[in-house]
Every structure is written in structure tokens, then in C-alpha cells.
């Protein structure tokens, strides 16, 4: 009995100090003292294994890797938030809220909008039971064991109550940079941004990997204690229960104070050690929240004010061109390194020749760069022109294979049309191995470079005949790492065939088009010698894409490649995974003409991606896509305050997949 008491006492102590350190950031004992307590607890538990419980602080990491995640149905759907992109939209929100409540001035809670991953945490009797991802809002994945590895997430609360809280899991900037440096050193693909890194870390089947990533969590919503009548009081209460609540939340009386808060953090956000992409504004009074209610997708009592992307100024030291996997020649600005949103920016894409001209960018100029959530920053404009600047000239020959470059009439992109150009070969193989394609771990850019340079492979099919001994000949390769590479190549053989279709790197075939093709053609072989006119019958596939797909599958070289992939034992048919439901439950109305797709095509895409196309605008409409010369639907949308977007923004919603 004495052991049990001792263990419990120690657990309480360890837990208390973890709370002070990880949640409140106010430690009362030294790290060494904490380590001593923790080791003592571990030693005692080791002597009495029957007394170990799952929620002991020593048990944050444990268990065998899972085969897959279980699905969890959320008790209440995890909704999204409507966005305000500018002050006018924010004022509109405040006006609607005041009208809805019949009040002159409303009390709001302002919070930072962390750019991470939404999770739901369920507690029973004060003990952490299940944690899940947002998923499609209705169902998510059970990631309990991974969430347990987050030190600021309480396993046991101060009260034995049942409750559900929601929050955002994120990876601090410093840890994100460190993680990417490690990945680069190990030739693994780098994460595009802290958000992707957090998502990738949470979706590990082996909690030991998650435990290595210093994830953190802020709780922003708690459905607790009905005596508490305000959101602010509930968050305070949740903090006392043991949850980490962002210290920067603020009560704001009326819109003027909200605007002040927004301004303050627009200037201050770069100093935070995590990424935020806006401010969330919530009606504080819970009864008022109920009065205002929800739309199909978001609460009417809250809005996310989105900040514009972070920008910085620096000098263009050089402009060089890069050769992509489709032979596209992209000018890239080499910049004087500058700190931007937590990362050092050294390069920025300039897209194409015309863009460089249009923006008037010359070598030696000072420019504004921005990073909008993605890896590759872009140059917004020239801020100071240098008198000594040198203009950029598109080369006439490929910098890699020296063949003549070609820019078709009416197109913006200059290309190297030598399919055997080593740069293209390497890029195609790299693309094939990426996470979204065949997901071949351990085969990153540096290894592909080595393999091609050493003439061990010249296309993607060659990957599957690599031997361990081939790899061991390479520099810096040990037996274990060679085996890892061979294993991950072998493990990729059974990917659903839409992934293979995407991995082949056909121009303009993103993940959505690949999934559409896989839905209509059960096997890659059915696509050989396919005609563009047949492909165009698939809604969502336009003439340009159809032509490119026809071209790809008409090439004898590609027939041979597919044959070799098949002979290597790669799945070329079946199990085409479903099209990602990116627009699930969203209603779209189209008005006006579009440039790159037809209206029925766009409507079919919406349907395929889980949304609903509608013919008339109502309050239930989520988006009106306005093309050229929009009709009366546009005015109606304006009147009802429905979000209006253009064709480009619509395509962005498709996740860059078309």
C-alpha cells in the first residue's frame, strides 16, 4: 500500500510541475529537480509494474505502432470559421451581430488564430479519453496516443468531470526549422510550413516519432460548467483545470477595441514563436452566441480576421533559371538572405519571363518578398530600383543539357523539350517519390541526384530494380540505410493507382485530375492510346488537360515505362482512392463566364469534391463564383453578404489540384 501511495504522491508532484512549466510557463523548481522526481517515479513504477496506469506522466509515449487510425464521430461537428479579409468585412460582421442581438455595443473575446491543426479532446471523470483530428468536421481520426505525447496536454484534470475541449496543435517556429534541418541532412522531404509539419507529426502511426517533435497545444473552446455564462470565463476555468490557454486572449468592448487588438498583433506577430494567420473574434456571452446560432458551416457569433501575408525587403543578388520535371524553365531570384515569418528566405520564384518584365525586376534591385503559407516565397514588387541593376535575359539554351529552349506562341513558359535532359529526369523521379505521389520515404532530392549521377537509375521504373549492394557503393551509405531505402521502395508498390497516375508527372494532372481519371478508368492500361475526346466527356476535365493526357499515353516510351512498372509488381489498377472531399457540404453558385473551364465542368468538379452546385443565391450559399460580366446573382450575393470569389480563388479552393 505504501508503494501505491508513494507513486500517487509522486505523480501528483510531477504533474503539478509539468503544469507550471508547460502550461503556465512559470516553473518553480529547476529542470534537475524535476528530472529527479520523474526518475524516482519511473524507478518506483518499474518495481511495481502492476501499479502503472495509462495516465501516469511516465506513459506519455508508449505502445506499438498502429496499422491505421480509427475513425471517431464527433459529438458535435467541428465547424470552421467565416473569414473577414479587411476592415469593411469586419464591420459588416459587427453590424450583423449587433442587429441580431439588438444591442448597441457587443463584448467580444479576441484570440490569436494559430496556424496549426484543430483537435477535439474528450475527458471522462477528469481523465483524457480520446483525442481526434477535425477530419471533415463530422468524423476525424483517433490520434489519442499521439496527443498524449504533448507535454502541455493534461492527462488528468484538477476535477473529476466529463467535458470536451477543442484547440489547435502547432509546432513552434524554432522547432520547425530544426526539424527541417534534420530532414534535409537525412535526405527527407522538408515540410512546407509549420502547419504541415504539425499535421505530419500528428498523423504518425508510431507515437514515438510524434514524441520526438515538440508539438504544443492551445485550447480555444471548452464546453463546460453551465454556470459560466461567458466564453472568457470558460477559458479561465479551463486554464485552472489544467489546459494551456493562450495568454494573449483579450476581452474587447465593442469594435473599436477589437480593431486595436488586430493592429497590435499585426505589428507583434513576427515576435511570436509560432505562426498565426489572423485573429479570431468571438461574441463573449454564451446566451448571445446561442441567439445568433450557426450557418451550415460556421458560427454566426465568431469570425476570423485574416492578416495579409508577411513581407520583407531584400536585394536580388542574381537571377538564375531552374529546369522543372516538365522542362519548364523558371527564373528564380537569389536573394540576400532575409528573415521572414520565422524562416530565412534565400530564393524566390519569379514564375516566368513575362512576370520578371512586368514587375520590372533586375539584378541589384531591392524587392518586397512575401510568404503566403507556402514554401516558395514570391517577389511582390520592386521597392527600390538600383541604378546599376542588370536586366535578366532568358537563356537560349538549357543550362543543364544545352539543348535549344523553346517558347510556344501565346504561352508564358519557356521549355527545354529534351525529355532526357538530366534535370528533368531527376525532377520526375523526385516527384514520383514525394509524399503525395508514391510516398517513397528516404528517397529525397540528394539521393536521387546521386543515383542518377552514378548511372544507377535513369527513370522511375529503375528504382524498383535497385539492389542493396548498388546503394552500399554510394558515399555515406551504411547497410542499415541501404536496407531502409530498399524497403521503402518495395512498400510503395501497392499504392492506389490514382497515386501512380499523379506520380507519373503528366503535365496539368494534379491530384484531383488523377483521382478523376482513376475513377473513370479502372486501370492504367485502359488509358493507353486514349483519345482526348473521350477524356473530355469526364466532367472536370477540360480540352487542354485532355490533350496533354492523350499525348502522354500516346508515347511509345511511356507505354514501355508503364509495362516495366507493371512487371516490377506495381499496382496499375483498382482501389482508385476517392477524390478528396475538399468542398464537402459547401454550396456554390456560378455567375458570368469563366476563362479556363466551362460552367457544367466547374459544377461537376464541385460535385466530385463533395460540394453542391446551386442555380440561385440564398443565405445558404457559401460561395458565389463570379466570372466575367456576372449577372443579377452577383448583386443578390452582395445584398445577402454571401462570399463572392473569382475564378482564381475558386481554383485555390480546389487545393491547387487542377
Is 610 one of the binding residues for ligand IVH (CB under 6 A)? no
DSSP secondary structure code for residue 626 in this structure? E
Q: Which stretch binds ligand IVH (CB under 6 A): 10-18, 113-121, 474-482, 520-528?
A: 113-121
Query: Taking Cα atoms as reference points, which of 451, 450, 476 lies closest to residue 466?
Result: 451
Binding to ligand IVH in span 307-366, by CB under 6 A: none
**Three-state DSSP class for residue 109:** strand
Is 170 one of the binding residues for ligand IVH (CB under 6 A)? no
Among 94, 111, 175, 378, binds ligand IVH (CB under 6 A): 111
Nearer to ligand IVH, 232 or 553 (CB): 232
Q: Which stretch binds ligand IVH (CB under 6 A): 297-305, 353-361, 470-478, 647-655?
A: 297-305
Residues in contact with ligand IVH, counted by CB under 6 A, come to a total of: 15
291 is catalytic: no
Q: Which residues, 6 or more positions from 85, have their beta carbon under 8 angstroms from its beta carbon?
A: 306
Nearer to ligand IVH, 299 or 422 (CB): 299
Main-chain phi, psi angles of 474, to 5 degrees: -75, 155
Is 79 one of the binding residues for ligand IVH (CB under 6 A)? yes
Distance CA 390, CA 75 (A): 62
End-to-end CA distance of the chain: 65
The dihedral through the CA atoms of 155, 15, 118, 578 has a sign that is: negative
Binding to ligand IVH in span 562-581, by CB under 6 A: none
In the stretch 197-236, what mask flags binding to ligand IVH with x, by CB under 6 A? -----------------------xx---------------
**DSSP E strand stretches across 324-401:** 328-340, 343-349, 366-371, 378-384
Query: Taking Cα atoms as reference points, which of 127, 93, 124, 123 lies closest to residue 110?
Result: 93
Distance CA 189, CA 447 (A): 11
Is 304 one of the binding residues for ligand IVH (CB under 6 A)? yes
Residue 300 CB, shortest distance to ligand IVH, in Å, is 10
Is 280 one of the binding residues for ligand IVH (CB under 6 A)? yes
Nearer to ligand IVH, 168 or 603 (CB): 168
Q: Which residues, 6 or more positions from 290, have their beta carbon under 8 angstroms from its beta carbon?
A: none
Strand 276-283 vs strand 250-253: parallel, antiparallel, or unpaired? unpaired
Q: Which stretch binds ligand IVH (CB under 6 A): 108-116, 493-501, 571-579, 580-588?
A: 108-116
Q: Which stretch binds ligand IVH (CB under 6 A): 76-84, 556-564, 604-612, 643-651?
A: 76-84
Strand 139-141 vs strand 405-406: parallel, antiparallel, or unpaired? unpaired
Residue 196 CB, shortest distance to ligand IVH, in Å, is 14
Nearer to ligand IVH, 221 or 392 (CB): 221
Is 118 one of the binding residues for ligand IVH (CB under 6 A)? yes
Q: Which stretch binds ligand IVH (CB under 6 A): 106-114, 306-314, 539-547, 569-577?
A: 106-114
Q: Which stretch binds ligand IVH (CB under 6 A): 260-268, 298-306, 510-518, 585-593?
A: 298-306
CA within 13 Å, CB half, 532: 11
Length of the chain: 658
Residue 218 CB, shortest distance to ligand IVH, in Å, is 7
Residue 276 CB, shortest distance to ligand IVH, in Å, is 8
- What are the helix and strand counts (H, E) for the chain? 23, 22
Q: Which stretch binds ligand IVH (CB under 6 A): 78-86, 224-232, 284-292, 371-379?
A: 78-86
Cell of 339: 528573415
Q: C-alpha distances in angstroms, 34 versus 131, 155, 550?
A: 27, 18, 65
Alpha carbon 364 to chain centroid, angstroms = 34
Nearer to ligand IVH, 281 or 524 (CB): 281
Is 114 one of the binding residues for ligand IVH (CB under 6 A)? yes
Among 11, 60, 74, 113, binds ligand IVH (CB under 6 A): 113
Nearer to ligand IVH, 113 or 351 (CB): 113
DSSP secondary structure code for residue 573 in this structure? B
CA within 13 Å, CB half, 371: 25
Residue 220 CB, shortest distance to ligand IVH, in Å, is 4
Among 7, 44, 81, 570, binds ligand IVH (CB under 6 A): 81
Which contiguous run of DSSP H or E holds residue 106?
A: none
Starting at the edge strand that comes first in sequence, how are the strands of the sheet with 276-283 ordered?
A: 83-84, 302-306, 276-283, 107-114, 250-253
Partners of residue 222 on adjacent β-strands:
165
Nearer to ligand IVH, 115 or 563 (CB): 115
Residue nearest ligand IVH by beta-carbon distance: 118
Nearer to ligand IVH, 215 or 302 (CB): 302
Among 62, 100, 214, 299, binds ligand IVH (CB under 6 A): 299
Binding to ligand IVH in span 4-33, by CB under 6 A: none
Is 243 one of the binding residues for ligand IVH (CB under 6 A)? no
Please list, residue by residue across 289-314, b when 16 or more beta carbons sit within 10 angstroms of its beta carbon and e when fewer do.
Answer: beebeeeebbbbbbbbbbbebbbbeb
> Of these residues, 26, 70, 113, 151, which one is catalytic?
113
DSSP secondary structure code for residue 108 in this structure? E
DSSP secondary structure code for residue 631 in this structure? -
- Catalytic positions: 113
Question: Which chain residues interact with ligand IVH by CB under 6 A?
Answer: 79-81, 111, 113-114, 118, 134, 168, 220-221, 280, 299, 302, 304
Amino acid at each position: 500500500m505504501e508503494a501505491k501511495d508513494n507513486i500517487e504522491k509522486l505523480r501528483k508532484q510531477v504533474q503539478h510541475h509539468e503544469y507550471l512549466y508547460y502550461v503556465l510557463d512559470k516553473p518553480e523548481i529547476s529542470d534537475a529537480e524535476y528530472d529527479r522526481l520523474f526518475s524516482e517515479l519511473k524507478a518506483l513504477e518499474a518495481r511495481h509494474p502492476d501499479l502503472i496506469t495509462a495516465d501516469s506522466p511516465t506513459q506519455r509515449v508508449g505502445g506499438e505502432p498502429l496499422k491505421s487510425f480509427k475513425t471517431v464521430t464527433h459529438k458535435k461537428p467541428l465547424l470552421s470559421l467565416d473569414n473577414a479579409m479587411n476592415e469593411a468585412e469586419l464591420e459588416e460582421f459587427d453590424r450583423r451581430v449587433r442587429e441580431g442581438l439588438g444591442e448597441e455595443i457587443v463584448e467580444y473575446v479576441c484570440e490569436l488564430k494559430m496556424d496549426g491543426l484543430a483537435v477535439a479532446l474528450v475527458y471522462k471523470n477528469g481523465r483524457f479519453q480520446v483525442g481526434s483530428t477535425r477530419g471533415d468536421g463530422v468524423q476525424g481520426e483517433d490520434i489519442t496516443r499521439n496527443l498524449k505525447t504533448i507535454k502541455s496536454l493534461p492527462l488528468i484534470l484538477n476535477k473529476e468531470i466529463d467535458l470536451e475541449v477543442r484547440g489547435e496543435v502547432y509546432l513552434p517556429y524554432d522547432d520547425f526549422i530544426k526539424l527541417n534541418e534534420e530532414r534535409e541532412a537525412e535526405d527527407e522531404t522538408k515540410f512546407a510550413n509549420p502547419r504541415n509539419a504539425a499535421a505530419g507529426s500528428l498523423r504518425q502511426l508510431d507515437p514515438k516519432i510524434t514524441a520526438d517533435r515538440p508539438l504544443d497545444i492551445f485550447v480555444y473552446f471548452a464546453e463546460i460548467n453551465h454556470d459560466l455564462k461567458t466564453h472568457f470565463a470558460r477559458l479561465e476555468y479551463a486554464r485552472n483545470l489544467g489546459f494551456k490557454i493562450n495568454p494573449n486572449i483579450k476581452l474587447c468592448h465593442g469594435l473599436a477595441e477589437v480593431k486595436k487588438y488586430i493592429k497590435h498583433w499585426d505589428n507583434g506577430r513576427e515576435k511570436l514563436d509560432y505562426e498565426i494567420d489572423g485573429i479570431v473574434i468571438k461574441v463573449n456571452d454564451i446566451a448571445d452566441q446561442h441567439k445568433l446560432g450557426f450557418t451550415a458551416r460556421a458560427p454566426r457569433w465568431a469570425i476570423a480576421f485574416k492578416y495579409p501575408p508577411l513581407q520583407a525587403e531584400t536585394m536580388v543578388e542574381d537571377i538564375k533559371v531552374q529546369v522543372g520535371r516538365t522542362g519548364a524553365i523558371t527564373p528564380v531570384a537569389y536573394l540576400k538572405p532575409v528573415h521572414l515569418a520565422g524562416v530565412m528566405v534565400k530564393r524566390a520564384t519569379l514564375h516566368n519571363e513575362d512576370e520578371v518584365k512586368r514587375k520590372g525586376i533586375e539584378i541589384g534591385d531591392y524587392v518586397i518578398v512575401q510568404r503566403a503559407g507556402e514554401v516558395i516565397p514570391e517577389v511582390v514588387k520592386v521597392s527600390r530600383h538600383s541604378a546599376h541593376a542588370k536586366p535578366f535575359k532568358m537563356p537560349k539554351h538549357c543550362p543543364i543539357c544545352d539543348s535549344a529552349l523553346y517558347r510556344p506562341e501565346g504561352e508564358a513558359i519557356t521549355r527545354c523539350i529534351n525529355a532526357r535532359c538530366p534535370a528533368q529526369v531527376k525532377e520526375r523521379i523526385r516527384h514520383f517519390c514525394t509524399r503525395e505521389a508514391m510516398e517513397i520515404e528516404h528517397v529525397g532530392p540528394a539521393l536521387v541526384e546521386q543515383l542518377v549521377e552514378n548511372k544507377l537509375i535513369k527513370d522511375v521504373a529503375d528504382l524498383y530494380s535497385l539492389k542493396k549492394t548498388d546503394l552500399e557503393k554510394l558515399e555515406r551509405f551504411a547497410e542499415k540505410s541501404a536496407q531502409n531505402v530498399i524497403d521503402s521502395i518495395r512498400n510503395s508498390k501497392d499504392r492506389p493507382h490514382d497515386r501512380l497516375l499523379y506520380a507519373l508527372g503528366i503535365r496539368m494532372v494534379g491530384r484531383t485530375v488523377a483521382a478523376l481519371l482513376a475513377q473513370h478508368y479502372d486501370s492504367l492500361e485502359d488509358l493507353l492510346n486514349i483519345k482526348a475526346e473521350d477524356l473530355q466527356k469526364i466532367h472536370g476535365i477540360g480540352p487542354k488537360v485532355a490533350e496533354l493526357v492523350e499525348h502522354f499515353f500516346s508515347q511509345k516510351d511511356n507505354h514501355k515505362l508503364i509495362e516495366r512498372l507493371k512487371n516490377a509488381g506495381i499496382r496499375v489498377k483498382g482501389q482508385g482512392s476517392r477524390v478528396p472531399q475538399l468542398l464537402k457540404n459547401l454550396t456554390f453558385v456560378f455567375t458570368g463566364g469563366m476563362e479556363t473551364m466551362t460552367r457544367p465542368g466547374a459544377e461537376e468538379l464541385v460535385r466530385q469534391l463533395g460540394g453542391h452546385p446551386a442555380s440561385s443565391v440564398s443565405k445558404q450559399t457559401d460561395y458565389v463564383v463570379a466570372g466575367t460580366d456576372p449577372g443579377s446573382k452577383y448583386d443578390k450575393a452582395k445584398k445577402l453578404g454571401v462570399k463572392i470569389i473569382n475564378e482564381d480563388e475558386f481554383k485555390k479552393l480546389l487545393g491547387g489540384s487542377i
